Amino acid sequence: MKRTAFFISDGTGITAETLGQSLLSQFENVQFSKLLRPYVDTVEKARDMVQQINAAAERDGVRPIIFDTVVNSDIREVLAESNGYTLDIFATFLAPLEQELGHGSSYSVGKSHSIQHNGHYKDRIDAVHYAMDNDDGARTHHYKDADIILIGVSRCGKTPTCLYMALQYGIRAANYPLTEDDMERLQLPASLRPFKDKLFGLTIEPDRLASIRNERRPNSRYASFSQCEFEVREVENLFRKENISFINSTHFSVEEISAKILVEKGIERRLK
Amino acid sequence: MKRTAFFISDGTGITAETLGQSLLSQFENVQFSKLLRPYVDTVEKARDMVQQINAAAERDGVRPIIFDTVVNSDIREVLAESNGYTLDIFATFLAPLEQELGHGSSYSVGKSHSIQHNGHYKDRIDAVHYAMDNDDGARTHHYKDADIILIGVSRCGKTPTCLYMALQYGIRAANYPLTEDDMERLQLPASLRPFKDKLFGLTIEPDRLASIRNERRPNSRYASFSQCEFEVREVENLFRKENISFINSTHFSVEEISAKILVEKGIERRLK
């Protein structure tokens, strides 16, 4: 039996979702059906939410869990009448923070994900375009502007990692695929040599790589296990020979890979 | 005078950062210096954190605010000795959730951003590659696989929005730039017609568009205010004539634009 969880906000809902997901992931023995409900920003929408919550309570036979970052008090009053069990995120933490900081909070909606509150918003968007333009070794003459250059075999996870670092943290991340040519000579391409301090390696287990490549080019030499094993072994040798830090992406998400890389390289994220 | 805030975790730190940013954004009269400290996962690293916290306290003349999602109890004990003011996110919410759910929590590290906990991780990565391959009208023969197709003038914010929806929610988002050709005839390109229910428009204020384009191609006709004004007016007319929903991206972040689009189109996000 599933239990329904709602992430409700009068803004984007990102905070309610992130905290809610994090807390629910600690309960491995409960199955949740999770629903994100952003922009519940009128009394009318709140009444509709109450109906959805009550319907879920009836369907599940148990009250839904509500993670709530609604700021507006009229809307909160309506939501409070539902049959859900509410964890009120802002109410819980804002009062102690107000006391500690000696200031009242503004209780305004959706500030943390707005452009206005986000001093580095333009950096993030510029970094996304940088990552797109410098993806997959497409250009190498902008590497002087890179914060980091990811290298590794084709399809080991470089592109999503670069885009995540760009979007979340405004980090200018380029990536360069090491091809068979680079491997046979077991040396770094000339275009990368001047930027050795920016390089970071990604590697991956050969069977996982073969499975990813098979989706793109089924039954090709490129996707064969023996080819994948050869490339991964050669590239890992190159990383070791050149003393380039690297991590194995096989069992990690882009969030984890990015956080590990930035800790290892000592790159401070551009926080809002 | 700035007050230091630390987001500390033995995992990626994403939950601590997201909630911390959200709460701090409610205090407009306090200036914060924010530091993300992921993977504080040994007692030794925790001791180093205590030194950083205490140094900040001395420098600022006031104790730092600590947003903490550390799970390991040995590490928590060390951190508790610092001179910071700690908001203990997991401790605050896990006990009431355990009672409500009738289950103990697993108190395990970094689950919510791991692949294992994330049933839709592969969808997200596939969606990133889909967005890359179908960016900027590069291909139009995969639109049948799209969840959404963003349309608008060049440089109005389509690409970062598509990538955000892909990375965060596994949504397959293509985008197509409307060019002067489409405008002069004031009609939808033939490649888009069969997918009208998937289309969503982005628009932007002409002076903002001119400023963005000027960074790419300074003093070009493409970047001139008159050209930008013409294109925006024509495209908005097209949206209205074809009855295509659209929003103005000028004052919104990719987080806000994405959330608004998904609410409007009634697309349920693929939550972990």
3-state secondary structure chain A: CEEEEEEECCCCCHHHHHHHHHHHCCCCCCEEEEEEECCCCCHHHHHHHHHHHHHHHHHHCCCCEEEECCCCHHHHHHHCCCCCEEEEHHHHHHHHHHHHHCCCCCCCCCCCCCCCCCCCHHHHHHHHHHHHHCHHHCCCCCHHHCCEEEEECCCCCHHHHHHHHHHHHCCCEEEEECCHHHHHCCCCCCCCHHHHHHEEEEECCHHHHHHHHHHHCCCCCCCCHHHHHHHHHHHHHHHHHHCCCEEECCCCCHHHHHHHHHHHHCCCCCCC
Same structural domain for residues B124 and B251? yes
Could B128 and A14 be called an inter-chain contact, meaning their C-beta atoms sit closer than 8 Å?
no
Contact B27 A103 (CB under 8 A): yes
Instruction: Give A27-69 pLDDT, tens digit per residue.
Output: 988 999 999 999 999 999 999 999 999 999 999 999 999 999 9
State mean pLDDT over A218-230. Answer: 95
My answer on whether B238 and B127 are in the same domain is yes
Residue B83 lies in a domain: yes
CA distance A239 to chain B (A): 24
Same domain membership, residue B232 and residue B140: yes
> Does A111 fall in a domain?
no
Stretch among A167-181, B26-40, B174-188 having the lowest mean pLDDT: B174-188
pLDDT at B108 over 90: no
Q: A83-135, pLDDT tens digit by residue?
A: 999 999 988 999 899 999 998 887 776 777 777 666 688 999 999 999 999 99
What pLDDT sits at residue A120? 82
pLDDT at B112 over 80: no
Whether A97 sits inside 8 A of B87 (CB atoms) is: yes
Q: Which of A50, A66, A101 is the last residue of a domain?
A: A101
What crossing angle do the helices spanning B158-169 and A121-133 adopt, rounded to 10°?
90
Instruction: Looking at the structure, tell me whether residues B67 and B186 fall in a common domain.
Output: no
pLDDT > 90: what percent of chain B?
Answer: 78
CB atoms B17 and A271 under 8 Å: yes
Query: Which pLDDT value is given to residue B270?
Result: 64
**Residue from the list B30, B113, B125 with its beta carbon closest to the beta carbon of A101:** B30
Give the chain A residue whose CA is nearest to the CA of B127: A160
Residue A271 lies in a domain: no
Q: Select from A47, A75, A101 the last residue of a domain.
A: A101
**Residue of B113, B162, B165, B257 to mutate, testing the A interface (most A Cβ within 10 Å of its Cβ):** B113
Q: How far is B122 from chain A (nearest CA, A)?
A: 10
> Does A114 reside within a domain?
no
Chain B: residue whose CA lies nearest to A108: B26
Q: Are residues A221 and A125 in the same domain?
A: yes
Q: How confident is the model at residue A271 (pLDDT cuts 50, 70, 90)?
A: low
Domain assignment of residue A106, yes or no: no
Nearest by CB to residue B115, choosing from A3, A89, A251, is A251
Domain with residue A126: its CATH number is: 3.40.50
- Looking at A54, A75, A101, the residue that finishes a domain is A101
Q: Is the pLDDT of residue B198 over 80?
A: yes
Bridging pattern class, strands B65-68 and B85-88: parallel
Asked whether residue A175 is assigned to any structural domain, the reply reads yes
Each residue of A242-270: pLDDT tens digit?
A: 999 999 999 999 999 999 999 999 887 76
Residue B106 lies in a domain: no
Give the count of Cβ contacts less than 8 A between chain A and B.
Answer: 206
Q: Is the same domain home to B161 and B63? A: no
Q: Across chain B, what does the average pLDDT equal?
A: 92
Residues of chain A positioned with their CB less than 8 A from the CB of B255: 12, 14, 113
Verify that B208 and B73 share a domain, yes or no.
no
Residues of B in contact with A92 (CB under 8 A): 92-93
B260 plus B196 within the same structural domain? yes
Is B154 assigned to a binding site? yes
Query: What residues in B contact A116, CB-CB < 8 Å?
Result: 251
What is the predicted pLDDT for the residue at B271?
A: 65
Which are the contacts of B191, defined by CB distance < 8 A and separation ≥ 6? B140, B143, B176
Convert chain B into a string of H (helix), E (strand) and C (coil).
CEEEEEEECCCCCHHHHHHHHHHHCCCCCCEEEEEEECCCCCHHHHHHHHHHHHHHHHHHCCCCEEEECCCCHHHHHHHCCCCCEEEEHHHHHHHHHHHHHCCCCCCCCCCCCCCCCCCCHHHHHHHHHHHHHCHHHCCCCCHHHCCEEEEECCCCCHHHHHHHHHHHHCCCEEEEECCHHHHHCCCCCCCCHHHHHHEEEEECCHHHHHHHHHHHCCCCCCCCHHHHHHHHHHHHHHHHHHCCCEEECCCCCHHHHHHHHHHHHCCCCCCC
pTM of the model: 0.91
Q: Give the other-Cβ count within 10 Å of A123's Cβ.
A: 17
Contact call for A22 and B271, based on CB within 8 A: no
Q: Which residues of A touch B26 (CB under 8 A)?
A: 90, 94, 97, 105-108, 111
Using one digit for the tens of pLDDT, what is the confidence trace for A6-33? 999 999 999 999 999 999 999 988 999 9
Does the structure show a pLDDT above 90 at B259?
Answer: yes
**Percentage of the residues of chain B whose pLDDT score is greater than 70:** 97
Q: Does the annotation list B159 as a binding residue?
A: yes
Q: Which residues of A touch B204 (CB under 8 A)?
A: none
Q: Do A140 and A212 reside in the same domain of the chain?
A: yes
Q: A82 labelled as ligand-binding?
A: no
Q: Compare all CA atoms of chain A with the CA of B111 and give the residue at the minimum distance.
A: A25
Identify whether residues B144 and B49 lie together within a single domain: no
Predicted confidence at residue B272, as pLDDT, reads 58
- pLDDT, residue B106, reads 79
B198 is in an annotated binding site: no
B40 to chain A nearest CA, in Å? 10
Q: What is the pLDDT of residue A243?
A: 96
Determine whether the interchain pair A87/B97 forms a contact, defined as Cβ–Cβ distance below 8 Å.
Answer: yes
- Report the mean per-residue pLDDT for chain A: 92
Nearest-by-Cβ selection for A263 from B21, B38, B124: B38
Shared domain check, A172 and A47? no
Number of domains in chain A: 2
Q: What is the pLDDT of residues B10-69, one digit of tens each?
A: 999 999 999 999 999 999 889 999 999 999 999 999 999 999 999 999 999 999 999 999
How much is the pLDDT for B118?
Answer: 65
Distance between CA B187 and CA B185 in Å, rounded? 5
Q: At B119, is the pLDDT very low, low, confident or very high (cuts 50, 70, 90)? A: low
Could you report the predicted ipTM of this complex, rounded to two decimals? Answer: 0.91
Chain A closest-CA separation from residue B185 CA (Å): 30
| Residues B142 and B222 occupy one common structural domain | yes
Cβ pair A259, B13 in contact under 8 A: yes
* Segments forming the whole domain that contains residue A46: 2-101
Share of chain A above pLDDT 70, in %: 97
Residue A245 counted as domain residue: yes
Q: What's residue B21's pLDDT?
A: 92
The closest CB to that of A167, out of B100, B105, B167, belongs to B167
